[in-house]
Chain A
């Protein structure tokens, strides 16, 4: 119920914002938020930080580009109702594969393995010309048109991203309550006990990675429609770190944190250049991110709910004293 109230102002946004704010800030935040959600899901419920989320998103994006209209003359055009499910399936499978490779690793080792996968994929896209068109990548990727309406137009893309974000959040909260989701959390808390109960821990880990691949893939599809292009740069170290930053500043304890982090990140990324000397704006971004991590170790989402709790507490006390007097 509470979530439904958040949706109302978000649905009013298109009437308030111009195209730039709607597309470049709001839609971009939602898309990056969906990708970051795939990471914070893994970090929160499986306890593994994965650097391969940009790879899973990239696989979905490259699938859309390869099997859709583009201007580089590579690929096989397929109707969008084939290429979209195909992209999601491939992203999910890639997630499962990453999970299979990283299943025995925890902490820093999981980070290193997933980072290696991400960077290997980056160099592969840069060198392979048959499927990925190397350095230049794909350009002129067009979102499908439905009944003459392009999904790349500001309003349809925003509503689609909003719907996808809401669906992703609902999926996450449903999944973590399912028996499989609970097993995943049990693996996070006490893998030894799960094994002692006779339950394999490989299946829940692979399933969690596959599910995160699905989320990342959904974000990746929206991202390639939004950017209208994809290249090795879209899966490089830059995007990998961006996704991590978004998840961390948003907070890893609640799935919604990914979207809070995305809004802050996009606002900074877009406007830091206006606030400070053009040659120094990266310093400003770095300083702000550092401050957020110092002031709010649990992320902005955690900071906000702490404040809300602090605001509420005095009220509660007052009520109880009144009762005591009467």
Chain B
């Protein structure tokens, strides 16, 4: 054992003997590069790299070095990845992570490393920035509630749904999504008599399918990936005919392309999302063009992950440019620049931060439509600009309603 340790210390000395030149700025990017999310996590990395590519790899003569690390969707692995980037690779800035609970873990970790600036990737739990926020943790994007803004209103007023049952996975991100939907829907006068929380990776939804009340007008389904496919398949096989309302990751193109028997249920289904692949805004078209040019092996359009990692890395590059790449004084000037930063996002809005360092974003209400060739796609029905984390409410009222959970919010 001691021999191995001696070899380890010899290796350590070698590692320490290569100091970076003073002007280099090291950016660590944490994303999920293993397991079920690997393809999506890779797209997050592409987004961050695209922002660096746009600067030509240097800001005011300071070389930007990007170092990527993988996590496996668990908070522990995100923390380990961040520690390695900081302590071993000596990064100045971290962009990431991808999923909700990882974001909460890095928010806590950032308090132990005041000399490093953290920019959230695409994780969207509410409390990452709202409660117990950290001075060096920034989110140039929204949380899961902001991503649902516009949908509750649309469902009540345009679709005429008065009563909706909720089916969602049992963890922080879907809680936040349900809050975003119910805040508007309940305020408009809608009722949510029943909420079903299912474990992630659940295969058998029959108990849920048969418990759905007969008198609801629609179902709000906040499930992701295979969970959404399994639920929708079992629901339509059981003869279910209630219309669907989707969460931000429920009705993506891969579900629309699948051969499930549930496709007829989805036509006309509204959903909320900050990223629409074939949005026809000018800025988005330009963003998609530079994405496909830089990454010919990427997706046909940037995913929600590429979009959000891009905005965070872009913010870091812009703020670096403002301070001429000077990160001395524990990033004081750099963080001041981040706090005051405004820039035009790929969706054409103006990104800026609130006092908790959370983004004010654009959000889309989309609906599923049938193309001429019979395939399904999502199209934009409404763009809501300048959505903040308090969903337009008074801060004290919003905070007094407490952290999101299975039972909060409630309007039976």
Interface residues of A (CB under 8 A from B): 6, 9-10, 13, 16-21, 23-26, 71, 123, 126-127, 129, 134-137, 139-140, 227-229, 231, 233-234, 236, 238, 256, 259-260, 263-264, 267, 270, 273, 278-279, 281-282
Distance in Å from the Cβ of A186 to the closest Cβ of chain B? 30
Are B33 and A126 in contact (CB-based, < 8 A)? no
Q: How far is the CA of A98 from the CA of B11 in the complex (A)?
A: 41
- List, sorted by A's number, 19 A–B pairs whose CB atoms are closer than 8 Å: A9-B2, A9-B6, A10-B2, A13-B5, A24-B88, A135-B200, A136-B171, A139-B104, A228-B108, A229-B75, A231-B76, A238-B72, A263-B4, A267-B4, A270-B84, A270-B88, A273-B69, A273-B70, A282-B34
In the complex, the chain B residue whose C-beta lies closest to that of A256 is: B1
Instruction: List 10 additional A-B contacts (Cβ < 8 Å) besides A16-B13, A140-B108, A231-B101.
Output: A9-B2, A17-B9, A20-B88, A21-B8, A25-B8, A134-B170, A136-B172, A139-B105, A139-B108, A227-B79
Are A20 and B87 in contact (CB-based, < 8 A)? yes
Q: How far is the CA of A123 from the CA of B109 in the complex (A)?
A: 26
Please, which residues of chain B bring their CB within 8 A of the CB of A282?
A: 34
In the complex, the chain B residue whose C-beta lies closest to that of A231 is: B75
In the complex, the chain A residue whose C-beta lies closest to that of B13 is: A16
Please, which residues of chain A bring their CB within 8 A of the CB of B406?
A: 129
Are B69 and A21 in contact (CB-based, < 8 A)? no
Q: How far is the CA of A134 from the CA of B172 in the complex (A)?
A: 10
Q: How many residues of B sit at the interface, in one of the four size bands?
A: 35 or more
In the complex, the chain B residue whose C-beta lies closest to that of A140 is: B108
Contact status of A229 and B105, CB under 8 A, knowing A10-B2, A13-B5: yes
Q: How far is the CA of A267 from the CA of B171 in the complex (A)?
A: 33
Q: How far is the CA of A17 from the CA of B108 in the complex (A)?
A: 26
4 A-B pairs closest in CB distance: A233-B74, A20-B87, A135-B171, A21-B12
Please, which residues of chain B bring their CB within 8 A of the CB of A264?
A: 4
Cβ of B22 under 8 Å from chain A: no
Distance in Å from the Cβ of A25 to the closest Cβ of chain B? 6
Please, which residues of chain A bring their CB within 8 A of the CB of B200?
A: 135
Distance in Å from the Cβ of A255 to the closest Cβ of chain B? 12
Main secondary structure of the interface of A (DSSP, over half): helix
Are A278 and B5 in contact (CB-based, < 8 A)? no
Cβ of B38 under 8 Å from chain A: yes
Please, which residues of chain B bring their CB within 8 A of the CB of A137?
A: 75, 101
Q: How far is the CA of A155 from the CA of B79 in the complex (A)?
A: 20
Interface residues of B (CB under 8 A from A): 1-2, 4-6, 8-9, 12-13, 16, 33-34, 38, 42, 68-70, 72, 74-77, 79-80, 83-84, 87-88, 101, 104-105, 108-109, 132, 170-172, 199-200, 405-406
In the complex, the chain B residue whose C-beta lies closest to that of A123 is: B199
Contact status of A263 and B170, CB under 8 A, knowing A228-B108, A229-B108, A238-B74: no
Please, which residues of chain A bring their CB within 8 A of the CB of B75?
A: 136-137, 139, 229, 231, 233
Distance in Å from the Cβ of B411 to the closest Cβ of chain A? 21
In the complex, the chain B residue whose C-beta lies closest to that of A259 is: B1
Q: How far is the CA of A259 from the CA of B68 in the complex (A)?
A: 29
Q: How far is the CA of A239 from the CA of B75 in the complex (A)?
A: 13
Q: How far is the CA of A129 from the CA of B171 in the complex (A)?
A: 11
Q: How far is the CA of A260 from the CA of B2 in the complex (A)?
A: 9
Please, which residues of chain B bring their CB within 8 A of the CB of A21?
A: 8-9, 12
Q: How far is the CA of A105 from the CA of B132 in the complex (A)?
A: 49
Please, which residues of chain A bring their CB within 8 A of the CB of B42?
A: 279
Contact status of A229 and B38, CB under 8 A, knowing A18-B12, A139-B104: no
Q: How far is the CA of A116 from the CA of B297 in the complex (A)?
A: 42
In the complex, the chain A residue whose C-beta lies closest to that of B41 is: A279
In the complex, the chain A residue whose C-beta lies closest to that of B169 is: A135
